[in-house]
Amino acid sequence: MRPVTQTAPTTTRPTSAGVADRLAAAVRPFIGGDLPVRLQAWDGSVAGPAGAPIVVLRSPDALRRLLWHPGELGAAQAYVTGELDVPEQDGWDLGSALTHAFAVGAERGLSGVRLSPRALVDAVRTAAGLGALGRPPTPPVSQARVTGRLHSLARDRSSISHHYDLSNEFYSLVLEPQMAYSCGYHATPDVSLEEAQRAKLDLVCTKLGLQPGMRMLDVGCGWGSLSLHAAEHFGARVTGVTISAEQKRFIDARIAERGLQDRVEIRLQDYREVPERDHFDAVGSLEMGEHVGARNYPTYVEVLRRSVRPGGRVLVQQMSRQGAGGGRHPGGGPFIESFIAPDMTMRPVGETVGLIEAGGLEVRDVHAMREHYVLTVAGWTANFEAHLPRLRELVGEEVVRVWRLYLVGGALAFRDGRMGVDQVLAVRPGAPHDLPAVRRW
Protein backbone atom coordinates (compact mmCIF):
# COMPACT_ATOMS: atom_id res chain seq x y z
CA MET A 1 0.00 0.00 0.00
CA ARG A 2 1.45 3.34 -1.03
CA PRO A 3 1.95 5.60 2.02
CA VAL A 4 -0.04 8.83 2.17
CA THR A 5 2.01 12.02 2.13
CA GLN A 6 0.85 14.24 4.96
CA THR A 7 3.31 17.15 4.79
CA ALA A 8 2.10 19.93 7.03
CA PRO A 9 1.52 23.35 5.43
CA THR A 10 4.39 25.76 5.95
CA THR A 11 4.01 28.57 8.43
CA THR A 12 5.13 31.42 6.18
CA ARG A 13 3.26 34.64 6.76
CA PRO A 14 0.18 34.86 4.51
CA THR A 15 0.15 37.60 1.87
CA SER A 16 -2.63 39.07 -0.24
CA ALA A 17 -1.13 37.32 -3.27
CA GLY A 18 -1.02 33.95 -1.57
CA VAL A 19 -2.33 30.76 -3.09
CA ALA A 20 -5.50 30.78 -0.98
CA ASP A 21 -6.53 34.30 -2.07
CA ARG A 22 -5.86 33.54 -5.74
CA LEU A 23 -7.94 30.38 -5.50
CA ALA A 24 -10.77 32.20 -3.72
CA ALA A 25 -10.99 34.71 -6.57
CA ALA A 26 -10.76 32.02 -9.26
CA VAL A 27 -13.50 29.76 -7.87
CA ARG A 28 -15.95 32.54 -7.05
CA PRO A 29 -17.93 32.12 -10.31
CA PHE A 30 -17.98 28.33 -9.81
CA ILE A 31 -19.43 28.46 -6.28
CA GLY A 32 -21.76 31.42 -6.73
CA GLY A 33 -20.05 33.74 -4.26
CA ASP A 34 -17.39 33.97 -1.60
CA LEU A 35 -15.73 30.92 -0.09
CA PRO A 36 -18.01 29.17 2.41
CA VAL A 37 -14.97 27.55 4.08
CA ARG A 38 -11.68 28.68 5.57
CA LEU A 39 -9.12 27.65 2.96
CA GLN A 40 -5.51 27.02 4.01
CA ALA A 41 -3.07 26.43 1.14
CA TRP A 42 0.29 24.70 0.95
CA ASP A 43 2.14 28.05 1.09
CA GLY A 44 0.55 28.88 4.45
CA SER A 45 -1.84 31.47 3.04
CA VAL A 46 -5.43 31.56 4.29
CA ALA A 47 -8.66 32.86 2.79
CA GLY A 48 -12.33 32.61 3.68
CA PRO A 49 -14.49 33.50 6.67
CA ALA A 50 -13.27 32.97 10.21
CA GLY A 51 -15.32 30.42 12.10
CA ALA A 52 -16.09 28.39 8.99
CA PRO A 53 -14.90 24.80 8.54
CA ILE A 54 -11.24 24.57 7.56
CA VAL A 55 -10.14 22.93 4.31
CA VAL A 56 -6.40 22.34 3.95
CA LEU A 57 -4.81 21.98 0.50
CA ARG A 58 -1.43 20.32 0.97
CA SER A 59 -0.35 20.09 -2.67
CA PRO A 60 -1.11 21.43 -6.17
CA ASP A 61 -2.03 17.82 -6.96
CA ALA A 62 -5.32 18.40 -5.13
CA LEU A 63 -6.18 21.14 -7.65
CA ARG A 64 -5.03 18.97 -10.54
CA ARG A 65 -7.40 16.21 -9.47
CA LEU A 66 -10.26 18.70 -9.24
CA LEU A 67 -9.49 20.02 -12.72
CA TRP A 68 -9.48 16.54 -14.25
CA HIS A 69 -12.44 15.31 -12.18
CA PRO A 70 -14.48 18.35 -11.09
CA GLY A 71 -16.78 17.89 -8.14
CA GLU A 72 -17.15 14.88 -5.88
CA LEU A 73 -14.70 12.45 -7.49
CA GLY A 74 -11.76 14.86 -7.65
CA ALA A 75 -12.36 16.04 -4.09
CA ALA A 76 -12.62 12.45 -2.86
CA GLN A 77 -9.38 11.47 -4.61
CA ALA A 78 -7.58 14.41 -3.04
CA TYR A 79 -9.03 13.63 0.38
CA VAL A 80 -8.13 9.93 0.46
CA THR A 81 -4.55 10.64 -0.67
CA GLY A 82 -4.16 13.32 2.00
CA GLU A 83 -3.63 16.14 -0.53
CA LEU A 84 -6.80 17.71 0.86
CA ASP A 85 -7.86 17.52 4.48
CA VAL A 86 -10.71 18.68 6.72
CA PRO A 87 -9.21 18.73 10.22
CA GLU A 88 -11.30 18.63 13.38
CA GLN A 89 -11.00 22.17 14.64
CA ASP A 90 -13.10 24.95 16.18
CA GLY A 91 -16.09 22.63 16.58
CA TRP A 92 -16.02 21.38 12.99
CA ASP A 93 -15.37 17.85 11.79
CA LEU A 94 -15.76 16.10 8.44
CA GLY A 95 -19.49 15.44 8.93
CA SER A 96 -20.41 18.97 9.97
CA ALA A 97 -18.20 20.44 7.24
CA LEU A 98 -19.96 18.37 4.58
CA THR A 99 -23.35 19.33 6.02
CA HIS A 100 -22.31 23.00 5.78
CA ALA A 101 -21.15 22.55 2.18
CA PHE A 102 -24.40 20.83 1.15
CA ALA A 103 -26.44 23.61 2.76
CA VAL A 104 -24.50 26.35 1.00
CA GLY A 105 -24.77 24.52 -2.32
CA ALA A 106 -28.52 24.17 -1.94
CA GLU A 107 -28.91 27.82 -0.88
CA ARG A 108 -26.90 29.09 -3.85
CA GLY A 109 -28.45 26.69 -6.34
CA LEU A 110 -25.05 25.66 -7.62
CA SER A 111 -26.44 22.99 -9.94
CA GLY A 112 -27.78 25.83 -12.10
CA VAL A 113 -24.62 28.01 -12.20
CA ARG A 114 -23.57 28.92 -15.76
CA LEU A 115 -19.99 30.03 -16.29
CA SER A 116 -18.89 32.70 -18.71
CA PRO A 117 -15.95 32.08 -21.09
CA ARG A 118 -14.02 34.76 -19.18
CA ALA A 119 -14.46 32.91 -15.87
CA LEU A 120 -13.18 29.69 -17.42
CA VAL A 121 -10.14 31.44 -18.92
CA ASP A 122 -9.33 33.13 -15.61
CA ALA A 123 -9.61 29.80 -13.77
CA VAL A 124 -7.24 28.09 -16.22
CA ARG A 125 -4.72 30.94 -15.89
CA THR A 126 -4.84 30.71 -12.11
CA ALA A 127 -4.38 26.95 -12.23
CA ALA A 128 -1.41 27.32 -14.56
CA GLY A 129 0.17 29.92 -12.29
CA LEU A 130 -0.18 27.57 -9.32
CA GLY A 131 1.36 24.59 -11.11
CA ALA A 132 -1.91 22.69 -11.25
CA LEU A 133 -2.04 22.04 -14.98
CA GLY A 134 -0.54 19.00 -16.66
CA ARG A 135 -1.19 15.30 -16.78
CA PRO A 136 -3.70 13.93 -14.27
CA PRO A 137 -2.20 12.49 -11.09
CA THR A 138 -2.19 8.72 -10.79
CA PRO A 139 -5.51 7.47 -9.38
CA PRO A 140 -5.36 6.52 -5.70
CA VAL A 141 -4.35 2.93 -4.99
CA SER A 142 -7.64 2.45 -3.16
CA GLN A 143 -9.76 3.33 -6.19
CA ALA A 144 -11.50 0.33 -7.75
CA ARG A 145 -10.26 -1.04 -11.04
CA VAL A 146 -12.80 -3.41 -12.55
CA THR A 147 -12.86 -4.49 -16.17
CA GLY A 148 -14.92 -6.70 -18.42
CA ARG A 149 -18.56 -6.79 -19.40
CA LEU A 150 -20.85 -5.07 -16.90
CA HIS A 151 -22.22 -7.59 -14.37
CA SER A 152 -20.54 -10.57 -15.97
CA LEU A 153 -19.72 -13.28 -13.43
CA ALA A 154 -16.03 -12.35 -13.45
CA ARG A 155 -16.59 -8.60 -13.12
CA ASP A 156 -19.10 -9.05 -10.29
CA ARG A 157 -16.58 -11.20 -8.40
CA SER A 158 -13.94 -8.49 -8.88
CA SER A 159 -16.30 -5.72 -7.72
CA ILE A 160 -17.33 -7.63 -4.61
CA SER A 161 -13.76 -8.62 -3.83
CA HIS A 162 -12.62 -4.98 -3.98
CA HIS A 163 -14.80 -4.04 -1.03
CA TYR A 164 -15.50 -7.23 0.93
CA ASP A 165 -12.11 -8.94 0.83
CA LEU A 166 -10.14 -6.26 2.70
CA SER A 167 -9.79 -8.83 5.47
CA ASN A 168 -12.12 -10.52 7.91
CA GLU A 169 -10.26 -8.90 10.80
CA PHE A 170 -10.89 -5.44 9.36
CA TYR A 171 -14.65 -6.03 9.28
CA SER A 172 -14.66 -7.69 12.70
CA LEU A 173 -13.29 -4.44 14.14
CA VAL A 174 -15.84 -2.22 12.37
CA LEU A 175 -18.96 -4.39 12.69
CA GLU A 176 -20.19 -6.27 15.79
CA PRO A 177 -19.81 -9.93 16.85
CA GLN A 178 -22.55 -11.20 14.50
CA MET A 179 -20.77 -9.51 11.54
CA ALA A 180 -24.01 -8.12 10.15
CA TYR A 181 -23.13 -5.66 7.38
CA SER A 182 -26.61 -4.22 6.82
CA CYS A 183 -29.03 -1.89 8.58
CA GLY A 184 -29.94 -2.86 12.13
CA TYR A 185 -33.29 -2.48 13.89
CA HIS A 186 -33.00 0.06 16.71
CA ALA A 187 -35.93 0.03 19.11
CA THR A 188 -34.49 3.17 20.73
CA PRO A 189 -31.47 5.35 19.86
CA ASP A 190 -29.51 4.04 22.85
CA VAL A 191 -29.78 0.36 21.87
CA SER A 192 -26.32 -1.09 21.25
CA LEU A 193 -25.24 -2.00 17.73
CA GLU A 194 -25.10 -5.69 18.67
CA GLU A 195 -28.64 -5.62 20.10
CA ALA A 196 -29.96 -3.76 17.04
CA GLN A 197 -28.46 -6.30 14.66
CA ARG A 198 -29.85 -9.19 16.70
CA ALA A 199 -33.27 -7.52 16.63
CA LYS A 200 -33.00 -7.11 12.85
CA LEU A 201 -32.16 -10.80 12.40
CA ASP A 202 -35.08 -11.78 14.65
CA LEU A 203 -37.34 -9.48 12.63
CA VAL A 204 -36.28 -11.01 9.31
CA CYS A 205 -36.69 -14.59 10.53
CA THR A 206 -40.08 -13.77 12.04
CA LYS A 207 -41.30 -12.11 8.88
CA LEU A 208 -40.18 -15.17 6.91
CA GLY A 209 -42.17 -17.35 9.30
CA LEU A 210 -39.24 -19.67 10.02
CA GLN A 211 -39.96 -22.80 12.03
CA PRO A 212 -37.65 -25.70 13.01
CA GLY A 213 -36.78 -27.84 10.00
CA MET A 214 -37.77 -25.28 7.37
CA ARG A 215 -35.39 -24.78 4.46
CA MET A 216 -34.12 -21.24 3.92
CA LEU A 217 -31.96 -19.75 1.14
CA ASP A 218 -29.78 -16.74 2.08
CA VAL A 219 -28.85 -14.92 -1.15
CA GLY A 220 -25.72 -12.84 -0.65
CA CYS A 221 -25.09 -14.19 2.84
CA GLY A 222 -22.14 -11.94 3.71
CA TRP A 223 -20.38 -13.16 6.87
CA GLY A 224 -23.30 -15.42 7.70
CA SER A 225 -25.18 -13.36 10.29
CA LEU A 226 -28.63 -14.31 8.93
CA SER A 227 -27.71 -17.89 8.01
CA LEU A 228 -26.28 -18.66 11.44
CA HIS A 229 -29.06 -16.83 13.31
CA ALA A 230 -31.80 -18.65 11.41
CA ALA A 231 -30.19 -22.02 12.14
CA GLU A 232 -29.28 -21.40 15.79
CA HIS A 233 -32.36 -19.52 17.00
CA PHE A 234 -35.13 -20.67 14.62
CA GLY A 235 -34.01 -24.23 13.83
CA ALA A 236 -33.94 -23.65 10.06
CA ARG A 237 -31.83 -25.61 7.58
CA VAL A 238 -29.98 -22.91 5.69
CA THR A 239 -28.16 -22.66 2.37
CA GLY A 240 -26.19 -19.44 1.93
CA VAL A 241 -24.48 -18.21 -1.23
CA THR A 242 -21.67 -15.67 -1.56
CA ILE A 243 -19.05 -14.86 -4.19
CA SER A 244 -16.52 -13.68 -1.59
CA ALA A 245 -13.96 -16.35 -0.73
CA GLU A 246 -13.01 -14.45 2.45
CA GLN A 247 -16.60 -14.48 3.65
CA LYS A 248 -17.08 -18.20 2.98
CA ARG A 249 -13.89 -19.03 4.86
CA PHE A 250 -15.11 -16.99 7.83
CA ILE A 251 -18.59 -18.55 7.92
CA ASP A 252 -17.30 -22.10 7.51
CA ALA A 253 -15.12 -21.58 10.59
CA ARG A 254 -18.09 -20.35 12.61
CA ILE A 255 -20.23 -23.26 11.45
CA ALA A 256 -17.60 -25.68 12.72
CA GLU A 257 -17.18 -23.79 16.02
CA ARG A 258 -20.93 -23.95 16.70
CA GLY A 259 -21.50 -27.47 15.47
CA LEU A 260 -23.96 -26.39 12.77
CA GLN A 261 -22.58 -28.53 9.92
CA ASP A 262 -25.89 -30.41 9.65
CA ARG A 263 -27.95 -27.21 9.41
CA VAL A 264 -25.90 -24.65 7.44
CA GLU A 265 -24.23 -25.01 4.03
CA ILE A 266 -22.37 -22.07 2.49
CA ARG A 267 -21.62 -22.11 -1.21
CA LEU A 268 -19.12 -20.00 -3.14
CA GLN A 269 -21.70 -19.38 -5.82
CA ASP A 270 -23.20 -16.54 -7.84
CA TYR A 271 -26.92 -16.05 -7.27
CA ARG A 272 -27.50 -16.83 -10.96
CA GLU A 273 -26.01 -20.28 -10.44
CA VAL A 274 -28.42 -21.42 -7.69
CA PRO A 275 -29.93 -24.58 -9.24
CA GLU A 276 -32.85 -25.35 -6.89
CA ARG A 277 -36.44 -24.78 -8.03
CA ASP A 278 -39.54 -24.83 -5.80
CA HIS A 279 -37.24 -26.11 -3.05
CA PHE A 280 -36.94 -23.62 -0.19
CA ASP A 281 -39.66 -22.66 2.29
CA ALA A 282 -38.28 -19.12 2.60
CA VAL A 283 -35.71 -16.87 0.92
CA GLY A 284 -33.91 -13.90 2.45
CA SER A 285 -31.59 -11.42 0.76
CA LEU A 286 -30.16 -8.56 2.81
CA GLU A 287 -28.70 -5.59 0.91
CA MET A 288 -27.50 -7.68 -1.99
CA GLY A 289 -30.03 -6.64 -4.66
CA GLU A 290 -28.23 -3.29 -5.05
CA HIS A 291 -25.24 -5.12 -6.52
CA VAL A 292 -26.96 -7.04 -9.34
CA GLY A 293 -27.45 -4.04 -11.63
CA ALA A 294 -30.47 -2.56 -13.36
CA ARG A 295 -30.48 -4.96 -16.31
CA ASN A 296 -30.07 -8.06 -14.14
CA TYR A 297 -32.64 -7.16 -11.49
CA PRO A 298 -35.43 -9.16 -13.20
CA THR A 299 -33.06 -12.16 -13.23
CA TYR A 300 -32.39 -11.65 -9.52
CA VAL A 301 -36.14 -11.59 -8.78
CA GLU A 302 -36.66 -14.70 -10.88
CA VAL A 303 -34.02 -16.56 -8.86
CA LEU A 304 -35.79 -15.58 -5.64
CA ARG A 305 -39.18 -16.63 -7.06
CA ARG A 306 -38.19 -19.96 -8.56
CA SER A 307 -36.11 -20.98 -5.52
CA VAL A 308 -39.00 -20.74 -3.06
CA ARG A 309 -41.96 -23.12 -3.07
CA PRO A 310 -45.41 -21.78 -3.99
CA GLY A 311 -46.83 -20.10 -0.89
CA GLY A 312 -43.35 -19.48 0.52
CA ARG A 313 -42.14 -16.08 1.69
CA VAL A 314 -39.34 -13.91 0.29
CA LEU A 315 -37.80 -10.96 2.15
CA VAL A 316 -35.56 -8.43 0.42
CA GLN A 317 -33.84 -5.71 2.45
CA GLN A 318 -32.49 -3.13 0.05
CA MET A 319 -31.22 0.43 -0.11
CA SER A 320 -33.04 3.00 -2.22
CA ARG A 321 -32.19 6.30 -3.87
CA GLN A 322 -34.44 9.14 -4.93
CA GLY A 323 -35.09 10.09 -8.56
CA ALA A 324 -36.33 7.94 -11.43
CA GLY A 325 -33.93 5.04 -11.83
CA GLY A 326 -31.92 6.34 -8.90
CA GLY A 327 -31.24 9.74 -10.51
CA ARG A 328 -27.97 10.74 -12.17
CA HIS A 329 -25.97 8.48 -9.85
CA PRO A 330 -27.95 5.30 -9.11
CA GLY A 331 -24.81 3.78 -7.61
CA GLY A 332 -24.72 6.42 -4.87
CA GLY A 333 -22.44 9.03 -6.42
CA PRO A 334 -18.94 9.21 -7.95
CA PHE A 335 -17.14 8.45 -4.68
CA ILE A 336 -19.17 5.36 -3.77
CA GLU A 337 -19.10 4.09 -7.34
CA SER A 338 -15.32 4.55 -7.63
CA PHE A 339 -14.07 3.52 -4.19
CA ILE A 340 -16.70 1.38 -2.44
CA ALA A 341 -19.21 -0.46 -4.62
CA PRO A 342 -18.51 -0.38 -8.35
CA ASP A 343 -21.54 -1.13 -10.55
CA MET A 344 -24.08 -0.77 -7.72
CA THR A 345 -27.61 0.32 -8.70
CA MET A 346 -30.28 1.82 -6.46
CA ARG A 347 -33.71 3.23 -7.29
CA PRO A 348 -36.80 4.51 -5.44
CA VAL A 349 -38.42 1.78 -3.38
CA GLY A 350 -41.59 2.01 -5.47
CA GLU A 351 -39.66 1.02 -8.59
CA THR A 352 -38.16 -1.95 -6.75
CA VAL A 353 -41.61 -3.05 -5.57
CA GLY A 354 -42.80 -2.83 -9.17
CA LEU A 355 -39.93 -5.02 -10.37
CA ILE A 356 -40.59 -7.60 -7.65
CA GLU A 357 -44.27 -7.74 -8.59
CA ALA A 358 -43.45 -7.91 -12.32
CA GLY A 359 -41.22 -10.89 -11.50
CA GLY A 360 -44.18 -12.90 -10.22
CA LEU A 361 -44.09 -12.31 -6.47
CA GLU A 362 -46.94 -10.78 -4.47
CA VAL A 363 -45.69 -7.93 -2.27
CA ARG A 364 -47.40 -7.98 1.14
CA ASP A 365 -45.40 -5.50 3.26
CA VAL A 366 -42.95 -2.64 2.77
CA HIS A 367 -41.14 -1.49 5.91
CA ALA A 368 -39.12 1.74 5.63
CA MET A 369 -36.08 1.82 7.96
CA ARG A 370 -34.09 4.87 6.84
CA GLU A 371 -33.69 6.38 10.33
CA HIS A 372 -32.38 3.07 11.62
CA TYR A 373 -29.44 3.24 9.22
CA VAL A 374 -28.27 6.54 10.71
CA LEU A 375 -27.95 4.76 14.07
CA THR A 376 -26.33 1.68 12.56
CA VAL A 377 -23.69 3.74 10.78
CA ALA A 378 -23.06 5.66 14.01
CA GLY A 379 -22.26 2.32 15.68
CA TRP A 380 -19.90 1.32 12.89
CA THR A 381 -18.21 4.72 13.05
CA ALA A 382 -17.66 4.43 16.81
CA ASN A 383 -16.03 1.01 16.31
CA PHE A 384 -13.96 2.36 13.43
CA GLU A 385 -12.58 5.28 15.43
CA ALA A 386 -11.94 3.08 18.48
CA HIS A 387 -9.77 0.69 16.46
CA LEU A 388 -7.89 3.16 14.21
CA PRO A 389 -4.34 2.04 15.09
CA ARG A 390 -5.02 -1.59 14.17
CA LEU A 391 -7.06 -0.64 11.08
CA ARG A 392 -4.13 1.43 9.83
CA GLU A 393 -1.85 -1.56 10.32
CA LEU A 394 -4.23 -3.76 8.34
CA VAL A 395 -5.07 -1.58 5.34
CA GLY A 396 -2.96 1.59 5.47
CA GLU A 397 -3.81 5.25 5.89
CA GLU A 398 -5.34 5.72 2.46
CA VAL A 399 -8.00 3.03 2.92
CA VAL A 400 -8.70 4.35 6.42
CA ARG A 401 -9.44 7.74 4.86
CA VAL A 402 -11.68 6.08 2.26
CA TRP A 403 -13.67 4.44 5.03
CA ARG A 404 -13.97 7.60 7.11
CA LEU A 405 -15.40 9.45 4.11
CA TYR A 406 -17.66 6.47 3.33
CA LEU A 407 -19.09 6.24 6.85
CA VAL A 408 -19.54 9.99 7.32
CA GLY A 409 -21.08 10.47 3.87
CA GLY A 410 -23.38 7.47 4.27
CA ALA A 411 -24.74 8.69 7.60
CA LEU A 412 -25.53 12.08 6.06
CA ALA A 413 -27.23 10.51 3.03
CA PHE A 414 -29.61 8.49 5.21
CA ARG A 415 -30.12 11.36 7.66
CA ASP A 416 -31.08 13.78 4.90
CA GLY A 417 -33.22 11.34 2.92
CA ARG A 418 -31.03 11.11 -0.17
CA MET A 419 -30.92 7.37 0.47
CA GLY A 420 -33.27 4.97 2.21
CA VAL A 421 -33.48 1.31 3.13
CA ASP A 422 -36.56 -0.92 3.16
CA GLN A 423 -37.65 -4.47 3.90
CA VAL A 424 -39.96 -5.80 1.20
CA LEU A 425 -41.86 -8.96 2.16
CA ALA A 426 -43.45 -10.99 -0.63
CA VAL A 427 -44.94 -14.43 -1.22
CA ARG A 428 -44.87 -16.69 -4.24
CA PRO A 429 -48.40 -17.26 -5.58
CA GLY A 430 -49.66 -20.72 -6.48
CA ALA A 431 -50.51 -22.13 -3.07
CA PRO A 432 -52.08 -20.88 0.16
CA HIS A 433 -49.70 -18.98 2.40
CA ASP A 434 -49.79 -18.64 6.17
CA LEU A 435 -48.94 -14.94 6.40
CA PRO A 436 -51.20 -13.62 9.17
CA ALA A 437 -53.80 -11.02 8.22
CA VAL A 438 -52.70 -8.89 11.18
CA ARG A 439 -48.94 -8.58 11.59
CA ARG A 440 -47.34 -7.83 14.94
CA TRP A 441 -43.68 -8.26 14.16
Please determine, for residue 390, whether its predicted confidence score (pLDDT) is greater than 50. yes
User: Does the residue 95 lie in any domain?
Assistant: yes
**Are residues 124 and 167 located together in one domain of the fold?**
no
pLDDT (tens digit, 9 = 90+) per residue, 211-228?
999 999 999 999 999 999
The secondary structure of 112-163 as a DSSP string is G----HHHHHHHHHHHHHTT--SSPPPPPTTS----SSTT-HHHHHHHHHHH
**Are residues 41 and 165 located together in one domain of the fold?**
no
**Are residues 110 and 183 located together in one domain of the fold?**
no
User: Does the residue 173 lie in any domain?
Assistant: yes
User: Does the residue 439 lie in any domain?
Assistant: no
**Are residues 390 and 354 located together in one domain of the fold?**
yes
Structural domains in the chain (count): 2
Q: Which of 154-163, 383-392, 393-402 bottoms out in mean pLDDT, i.e. has the lowest?
A: 154-163
User: Does the residue 12 lie in any domain?
Assistant: no
User: Does the residue 1 lie in any domain?
Assistant: no
**Are residues 123 and 178 located together in one domain of the fold?**
no
**Residue from 362, 382, 334 nearest 173 by CA:** 382
**Are residues 111 and 199 located together in one domain of the fold?**
no
Nearest-5° Cα angle at 378, 414 to 77: 70
The more confidently predicted of residues 82 and 114 is: 82
Q: What is the pTM of this model?
A: 0.89
Residues 26, 39: Cα–Cα separation, whole Å: 13
Given this model, what pLDDT does residue 107 score?
85
**Are residues 288 and 250 located together in one domain of the fold?**
yes
**Are residues 282 and 202 located together in one domain of the fold?**
yes
Q: Give me the percent of the chain exceeding a pLDDT of 70.
A: 93
User: Does the residue 6 lie in any domain?
Assistant: no
Given this model, what pLDDT does residue 115 score?
53
User: Does the residue 432 lie in any domain?
Assistant: no
**Are residues 162 and 123 located together in one domain of the fold?**
no
Query: What residue numbers bound the domain in which 24 lies?
Result: 19-129
| Domain final position from 129, 162, 181 | 129
Q: Which of 87-91, 101-105, 115-119 bottoms out in mean pLDDT, i.e. has the lowest?
A: 115-119
**Are residues 300 and 347 located together in one domain of the fold?**
yes
Nearest-5° Cα angle at 329, 67 to 297: 145
**Are residues 194 and 305 located together in one domain of the fold?**
yes
Helix count and strand count (H, E) for the chain: 15, 11
User: Does the residue 135 lie in any domain?
Assistant: no
What are the distances in angstroms from CA 135 to CA 68, 84, 127? Answer: 9, 19, 13
Residues 178, 176: Cα–Cα separation, whole Å: 6
**Are residues 200 and 167 located together in one domain of the fold?**
yes
The CATH number of residue 277's host domain is: 3.40.50.150
